[in-house]
Structure 1
Amino acid sequence: MLKPRDIKTAEEARAIVEERNLSHVKVGLFDNDGVMRGKYMSRDKFLSSLDHGFSFCDVVLGWDVKDQLYDNARYTGWHTGYPDAPVRILPHSCREVPFEEDMLLFLAEFDGQAQAVCPRATLRRVIERCQALGFEPLAALEYEFFLFDETPDSARAKGFRNLKPFTPDWFGYSMLRNSVHAELYRDILELAERMDFPLEGLHTETGPGVLEAAIAVDRAEAAGDKAALFKTFLKVLAQRRGLMATFMAKWSGSYPGQSGHIHLSLRDADSGKSAFYDSSHSQGMSDVQRHFLAGQQRLMPEFLAMLAPTVNSYRRLVPGFWAPTDATWGVENRTAALRVIPGSDKSQRTEYRLGAADANPYLALAAALGSGLYGVMQQWEPSEAVAGNAYALQQPQALALPRTLWESAQRLKASEAARELFGSDFVEHFAASREWEEREYRRHVSDWELDRYFEII
């Protein structure tokens, strides 16, 4: 009997669908914001698409998380008539859907001209450049997320106010919480194993109802898939249990924000050894790791829109809440934006701590990897490492991060490095989508404004 994660080719994908005698298969891809879009596809259509691809309306690259159409994008819009774009199925992405008997899920990626603005294809292009330079990138993403004893209906009925967390109070690393709710933790761990985004760790974080999950390391492309699927199907699992999960960067001013940290390392393609580890250097940092770190640091302000892509992302980037505010780095220092983790040939790596949980995993990973790769290509050197509390130290203006999504979009558009790494078509399209997001925010009147100005002004 064929196993989903053993599928590598179109022929094997065809065989497993026929073996299970499926009438339909699930096919999905990810939009600008990392939202999974997809459908059930008939067996005959799927089998044909394995060889010839299929078409998907390109509106999913031209709208926001509320299905509202961008009015400032050149790639697609009313001016193009929202045509279909070619899509290719990725046979090696085959997975079981645990909630649906024998159902299979396959990921897809935009093809043809649409590749230029497709998030997954953008990551793939960065990885291919990395491989061309003789490196194999490895990555692991970890996410914080809040769980609520709410449903989509109850949360909306409350206006997303006064929501009931799954558990009360601040219980970081709590053995009490994970034992009392062992069934939920077991379900999360089993889901991760069955859908091949296995977790190295799962624990309560600081705040009511907040958990942190660390996805196991893999090659960078697979790591992107695993992170995107984890975010999607963790929300599915929660809602099937009468709960809700959120990956908003900051849902409340009273609690810490939610991170999406990215661990990265490079291995030499010829020797298989770590390109980051050199025991003769301080902290085991090789020249390659030092240049990689410098690229991440120098380009962080320019690439921030890909790592902090929503208006809400910038609510998290404030001092004292475990989120960096400048492009700093340190050795084993969690107040810095970049944390060097010394170790061995196996474990030497960098942790990109800036990323928020709301980022599209493919684009966050493309930014973190691409900036580091660019530093290697340019042989840049990092600043001095920070020691102690990075929040309390005065940093050069060049290391200051944009404070708003609009500013981040402008920095991305002006970045020559971004255009070289990701392509001008992607930079223009994604920056336009972030400008749209900021303008949508400014059109709405907040509760804070009403409370502050309605009577007194």
Structure 2
Amino acid sequence: MSETGTISSTISSTIGSTARRAVRLEATNHEGSLLGKNVSPEKFASGKESGFAFADILFAIDLNNEIVLGDAFPEWRGNLYDIAMIPDLSTLVEWKPGLDSVIGDYWLKDGSPVPICPRNLVKRLVARLAEHGYTATTAVEIEATLFEESVQEARRRCYRDLTPLGGSTGSTYHLARSSDWIDYMEAVVERLEQLGIPWEAWTDEAAPGQTELNLAPIDPVALCDNWARTRQIMREVGNALGHTVSFMAKPTAGFGQGAHINISLQRDGVNQYYAEDGLSELMRHSVGGLLATMAGNTSIAMPQITSYRRLVDLTGPPTTVSWGVNNKTAAVRAITGHPKYSRLEYRLPGADVNPYLALAGVLAGVLAGIERRIEPPEQVTDMAWGLPDSAGVPRIPDTMSRAWVALDADPLLREYLGDEFVDFWVASRRWEWMEFHTKGGDPFAELSEWESTRYFEFP
């Protein structure tokens, strides 16, 4: 038997199987955690069109299962009313023997979408793009850090002093990783292929134990579905092989990790970002919108306290509200000159971002730029890190509070994402900030134990 076959058998025997089938209903909450419930085939058949009851409190609790206070609860939220999770049958797959899996959206009793449902936000913005005759093609580069210890051992250690899988040194594109690291990644992509999730590449990243996995270009809603499921797969494979994985923006005091989003717009199958002489007008306005909304979008793209520890000059992530052609030090990188591959790379989000909210923020910026014909500032042709104030390039908000203030005041994001979502999100980030500062977080530590405990396994 091949080594890959041995790994597959290990995973299958660890997961187990059952003759009785079930269907797992899946959807994210605002924090990006994949929530759901398992139902019998009979129950699924009876509710696949009308939906399944979920308590609205899923949008009113934090990562520690505490009620989030500080904003005005709308009528549908906060009183344990039921909202309906309606499955999207196009996402139905066999997850493993005995278990099917389906992703859905949240809806109110009156038949309208829950205003802050992450998946429905993306669908609404995709529809708005379609009104202009555009379809979006999107891809993501997922970064994660792998550790030798099982998740049970990681919990016993409070997620501290863990051993990076594959060696204690980090070197981008390094091929001499030990076989345990390679075995893990090969098992992950095998599971992706079994579930029909297209991927393009995986590689060693900069930090010890860190990997980057690139999902193939697809429409925005499908990309988010694939992204959420890929994180679940990476966790399950880790559990099966006795290892653990974290999508924290900074799981150790070393390098952080992000989730770069690539986007292009098509009309009748033709890439509208391509122009023979560089940027098309559409790409230029898209860049303008992405930069105009970037300060406010930071709160969404970098949702947790630890997200902001990642913003260190010269370490990879963008630190300035900037763009440039093929400039990976800028927040928005324009790839030009090819009819197929011309696109924008949005480098702001951390690995801890909610996939659906990340895409909603990007689509909102693109739409704002297109509909208002926003011109971008001058591109940065040199290094965009560490620019002096005299350069006139603003810094990305570097704390959770600065970011939510920017979002709260952003009229464009309020228009495209909705006042109810923005007010809800700002209140939830205020709550997260307060929890950190009153429950044991240390703002002066490189990485506090409070953050490791709260974020290591979430989203």
TM range (shorter): 0.7 to 0.9
1:409 aligns with 2:404: yes
Residue number in structure 1 paired with 2:355:
361
Shift of 1:67: 1.6
User: 1:397-453, CA deviations, whole angstroms, 9 ceiling, x for partnerless residues?
Assistant: 6733212112211221222111210111111111111111111111133468699xx
1:158-169 equivalences under 5 Å are 158-168=157-167, 169=169
Unpaired segments ≥5 residues, structure 1: 1-19, 452-457
- Determine which of 289, 299, 303 is the counterpart of 2:297: 303
In 1, Cα distance between equivalents of 2:441 and 2:422: 30
1:378 aligns with 2:372: yes
Does the 8 Å contact 1:171/1:177 carry over to 2? Answer: no
Shift of 1:198: 2.1
In 2, Cα distance between equivalents of 1:159 and 1:179: 27
Does the 8 Å contact 1:86/1:110 carry over to 2? Answer: yes
User: 1:196-248, CA deviations, whole angstroms, 9 ceiling, x for partnerless residues?
Assistant: 32220011111211111000000111111111111122112112211111011
1:436 aligns with 2:434: no
Residue number in structure 2 paired with 1:156:
155
Residue number in structure 2 paired with 1:105:
101
TM (normalized to structure 1)? 0.88
Residue number in structure 1 paired with 2:137:
138
Residue type at the aligned position of 2:411: E
| C-alpha distance 181-159 of structure 1, shift in aligned 2 (>3 A) | closer
| C-alpha distance 391-447 of structure 1, shift in aligned 2 (>3 A) | closer
User: 1:48-68, CA deviations, whole angstroms, 9 ceiling, x for partnerless residues?
Assistant: 112221211111111112222
Residue number in structure 2 paired with 1:204:
204
Does the 8 Å contact 1:370/1:421 carry over to 2? Answer: yes
1:192 aligns with 2:192: yes
In 2, Cα distance between equivalents of 1:239 and 1:27: 21
Residue number in structure 1 paired with 2:14:
none
1:198-347 equivalences under 5 Å are 198-253=198-253, 255-268=254-267, 271-279=268-276, 281=277, 283=278, 285-347=279-341
- The alignment partner of 1:340 has SS state of strand
User: 1:110-165, CA deviations, whole angstroms, 9 ceiling, x for partnerless residues?
Assistant: 01255201111111111111111111011001111100112233222222221111
- Determine which of 58, 61, 69 is the counterpart of 1:71: 69
1:422-433 equivalences under 5 Å are 422-433=417-428
| C-alpha distance 180-232 of structure 1, shift in aligned 2 (>3 A) | closer
| C-alpha distance 397-441 of structure 1, shift in aligned 2 (>3 A) | farther
Q: For structure 1, which segment, 190-199 or 322-331, has the greater mean C-alpha deviation from structure 2 after superposition?
A: 190-199
Q: For structure 1, which segment, 105-114 or 310-319, has the greater mean C-alpha deviation from structure 2 after superposition?
A: 105-114
- Determine which of 51, 55, 72 is the counterpart of 2:49: 51
Q: For structure 1, which segment, 79-88 or 205-214, has the greater mean C-alpha deviation from structure 2 after superposition?
A: 79-88
Does the 8 Å contact 1:171/1:207 carry over to 2? Answer: yes
Residue type at the aligned position of 1:360: N
- The alignment partner of 1:388 has SS state of coil
Does the 8 Å contact 1:178/1:203 carry over to 2? Answer: no
Q: For structure 1, which segment, 154-163 or 417-426, has the greater mean C-alpha deviation from structure 2 after superposition?
A: 154-163
User: 1:350-380, CA deviations, whole angstroms, 9 ceiling, x for partnerless residues?
Assistant: 0001111000010011111210111111111
Residue type at the aligned position of 1:125: R
| C-alpha distance 368-195 of structure 1, shift in aligned 2 (>3 A) | same
Residue type at the aligned position of 1:206: A
In 1, Cα distance between equivalents of 2:280 and 2:233: 38
| C-alpha distance 23-188 of structure 1, shift in aligned 2 (>3 A) | closer
Residue number in structure 2 paired with 1:5:
none
In 2, Cα distance between equivalents of 1:379 and 1:323: 28
| C-alpha distance 339-26 of structure 1, shift in aligned 2 (>3 A) | same
Residue type at the aligned position of 1:40: N
Provide runs of 4+ in structure 1 moved above 6 Å.
76-79, 447-451
Shift of 1:185: 2.4
| C-alpha distance 47-364 of structure 1, shift in aligned 2 (>3 A) | same
Residue number in structure 2 paired with 1:9:
none
In 1, Cα distance between equivalents of 2:347 and 2:161: 29
In 1, Cα distance between equivalents of 2:396 and 2:151: 34
In 1, Cα distance between equivalents of 2:70 and 2:273: 42
User: 1:320-353, CA deviations, whole angstroms, 9 ceiling, x for partnerless residues?
Assistant: 1111111101111111111011242211000001
Q: For structure 1, which segment, 157-166 or 208-217, has the greater mean C-alpha deviation from structure 2 after superposition?
A: 157-166
TM (normalized to structure 2)? 0.88
In 1, Cα distance between equivalents of 2:436 and 2:37: 30
Residue type at the aligned position of 1:295: G
- The alignment partner of 1:208 has SS state of coil
User: 1:25-72, CA deviations, whole angstroms, 9 ceiling, x for partnerless residues?
Assistant: 111110011100111111121111122212111111111122221112
| C-alpha distance 108-22 of structure 1, shift in aligned 2 (>3 A) | farther
| C-alpha distance 87-450 of structure 1, shift in aligned 2 (>3 A) | closer
- The alignment partner of 2:54 has SS state of strand
In 2, Cα distance between equivalents of 1:130 and 1:387: 30
Shift of 1:76: 6.2
Residue type at the aligned position of 1:261: H
In 2, Cα distance between equivalents of 1:382 and 1:424: 25
Cα RMSD, aligned residues only:
2.2
